[in-house]
Structure 1
Amino acid sequence: MGKPSVTVTTAKAIINSEYTLIKSHSKYKLPAHLVKLDASTSEGRITVAKLFYRRFMRLMPFVSNVKMVRDTYRDYLRYKFIRENYELKRYLVFNPTELGSKNNAELISSTECGDKPLPVQEMQRTLEFVLKSCSYLPETKDQKWDIARDNTYCRQILKNLLTMQYEKYRSDRHRGVGHDELDVKFSHLRTTFDPLTKLNKGDKKKIPLFKVFSDFDTTLVYLNESLGTRL
């Protein structure tokens, strides 16, 4: 005989040994007044960014039961909102042959995060993506198979993304590849297309690791272009 199932019901959720059903979804979704906010001003950017950041953070308990995965998700969110220069990352992916001049790359690198337009539409689609990845439906015809499969794809992609991000953190601690190299300077994207003769002996040892991260980040940028997201 299996163990008896215990169901806990609260004002906000119904919980059993396998699933959690959230009764109210409002705090995970964007407010209706978002469309009235002006994200083109400095004050408006901060307000809108906070709205998104809070909602992404509220989803953290549903991302995984594993603390390490939740911690990686939290750290990745902080990086995305505070430090990432996505335009530079995108430029390095789509313009690998122009790295010799580096004029545009240096210009993008020098742009402060607060001076960049806030990609509200991409952020909305990214929030929808994470919401799907945290939602569960069994994949049966009776349970809207196409929607269930879509949620599964989102969940698998997010899992792979967080796994790779965790490997980047491990590289910082154990492999001599600094966090700034991978997620600030994007050295792995630059080095992939630079002649190896320009690299010193220490950097040449990083090439295999750089290649793995470069392939993943390149694929991620193309995925974002296809979905209109900012994963």
Structure 2
Amino acid sequence: MPNVGLTITTKNAIITSQKTLLLKHAKFFPPHNMINECAHDEVIRMCYRRFMRIKPLVSQRQMIQTTYVQYLRYKFRTEDYEEKLKASGITLPKTSFDDSSQVYRSLLFCLKAVSTVKKGFSGEKDASAEIRRARNILKNILTVEFEKSALIAKNSGQNFTVLRKSFSYLRPSVENAANVSQFAPLRDFDRCLLALNITLGTRL
């Protein structure tokens, strides 16, 4: 029987059966003032590397880590975010942040989601609440992405186009169409996520 109370402490981390607490985390955070001092493409590359570095912190479950990596690769290499936003028909004011700033802010959001607060910190309660919200949002995003991948695997010819290319499942005008009605829960979630991105200046 495994010792569920076992704690391993090294110079870099404290590890339990439920979580890993990193003691040295500078390599996970972007350089100070990166947005203003680095070229656009370099900002994107540096953010991508740091997104990948936090994979073990997102979850200790291999399935969730795999979903996270697949999601990142899709977001960075394939997704036409502007087309997705256009297909949704959302009329909220557009963010003033450019795409590199949105990616940077998304990284900060995910770093918050995998963070913890030192006990006794004066703002512990509020900071912990923010972390829980970010963690729950990231968890829900990965749950939805896992569901999308499963649907694409079942019928890649149709579902890849609907979910990844045309984004027709997001369009208000086709809400009741037979070929996209099955995606209603995904549609509702993604429309909320797009609105959240506009509000936060992120690109989750």
Normalising by the smaller structure, the TM-score range is 0.7 to 0.9
Q: Distance in 1 between matches of 2:111 and 2:175?
A: 42
Deviation by residue 1:138-170 (Cα, 9 ceiling, x = unmatched): 899977111001100111111111111111111
TM-score (norm 1): 0.74
CA RMSD of aligned residues (A): 2.8
Runs of 4+ in structure 1 over 6 Å off: 138-143
Q: Distance in 2 between matches of 1:143 and 1:5?
A: 29
CA contact (8 A) 2:168 2:174 kept: no
How many pairs were matched up? 196
Q: Which runs of 5+ in 2 are unaligned?
A: 92-96
Letter in 2 for 1:159: K
In the alignment, what sits opposite 1:22? Answer: 22
> Greater relative contact order (Cα 8 A, min sep 6): structure 1 or 2?
2
In the alignment, what sits opposite 1:63? Answer: 58
Q: Alignment partner for residue 213 of structure 1, among 160, 171, 186?
A: 186
Letter in 2 for 1:213: L
Q: Distance in 1 between matches of 2:191 and 2:19?
A: 35
CA contact (8 A) 1:7 1:14 kept: yes
In the alignment, what sits opposite 1:129? Answer: 109
CA contact (8 A) 1:7 1:17 kept: yes
Q: Distance in 1 between matches of 2:10 and 2:201?
A: 37
TM-score (norm 2): 0.83
Identity %: 35
- For residues 180-219 of structure 1, the aligned pairs below 5 Å read 180-190=161-171, 192-194=172-174, 204-219=177-192
Letter in 1 for 2:135: R
Q: Cα gap change, 1:187/1:21 in structure 2, threshold over 3 Å: closer, same or farther?
A: same
Deviation by residue 1:31-83 (Cα, 9 ceiling, x = unmatched): 236232122xxxxx2x2221010000001111112111111110000000000
- Greater radius of gyration (CA): 1
Q: Does 1:229 align with 2:193?
A: no
In the alignment, what sits opposite 1:38? Answer: 39
Residue 17 of structure 1 and its aligned partner are, at CA, apart by 3.1
Deviation by residue 1:98-118 (Cα, 9 ceiling, x = unmatched): xxxxxxxxxxxxxxxxxxx96
Secondary structure in 2 aligned to 1:32?
A: coil
